[in-house]
Each structure stands twice: as C-alpha cells, then as structure tokens.
Amino acid sequence: MPPLASILEFTKANPAAYLGRGNGDYYARLVGFILGYGFGAKRAGGDSTFHTLQVEFNDYVKATLNSKHGSPLYSAENHWTDAILSEAGNDPGAFKLFYELWETFAQTQVA
C-alpha cells in the first residue's frame, strides 16, 4: 500500500487527530494535506512527474459523478477536488464522498 493510502486510512478513522479540530471543514483540510503532501514529495524527491494520487483518480471521480447525471457536469477543466465538493454541496458531505470514491477507486486498481 502506498504511504499516502495508509495515511488516508488513519485520517478517515480520526480526522481531528490528523487534520486538527475543525467545524466540519475536514474536506478542505484533507485536500490541503493531500496537495501539500504531493508538493513536498515532488520537492524532496526532485521528481516533477510525481503524482500524489494516481492520475487516473481525477478521471475516475469525474466519470463516476457524471454517470449520476443525464448529461456530464464535470469536464477536463474540473479537478477532482472541486467536482467532489460541488457534488456533495458541503464540506462534511465532500469528506464522506471523497472516501467513498477513493475506496472504490482503490479497489479498481487492485484488479
């Protein structure tokens, strides 16, 4: 399991311990952590091609969310972070939706 995947599991179980106490704004904090993790990994490793989450996760999120609508709402211009928040409508819902999508995506990567 990649290091970030392990961290995400711990964070889901106890977001306050890893993201700080909040007012239900854990999704915004989680996104900040993931993006910061990726930036730090790129800088520390000197690998400008490093991706925190698999590149396919962005497309997976948009395709999965678009499949729930009659016509696509999310296009190439949308990032998974914005698509999840838009779909969920609020930060607590986005936190939950992120993990639903992350876990189903992870299952597709094992096969």
Q: What is the pTM of this model?
A: 0.87
pLDDT at position 6, please? Answer: 87
pLDDT of residue 5: 85
Give the total residue count for the chain.
Answer: 111
Instruction: DSSP letter for 23, please.
Output: S
Indicate if the pLDDT at residue 1 is higher than 50. Answer: no
pLDDT of residue 101: 97
Cβ contact 61:55 at 8 Å: no
User: What per-residue confidence (pLDDT) applies to 28?
Assistant: 95
Contact 52, 37 (CB under 8 A): yes
The whole-number pLDDT of residue 38 equals: 81
Q: What is the DSSP letter of 16?
A: H
Round to whole Å and give the CA distance between 95 and 26. Answer: 6
pLDDT at 2: 56
**pLDDT for 34-91, tens place per residue?**
988 888 877 787 777 767 777 789 999 999 999 999 889 999 899 999 999 999 999 9
| pLDDT in the model for residue 79 | 94
pLDDT of residue 54: 76
The Cα 84–Cα 64 span in angstroms is 10
Number of folded domains that form the chain: 1
Q: Name the residue range of residue 14's domain.
A: 3-110
Distances (CA, A) of 108 to 24, 46, 51, 102: 29, 29, 18, 10
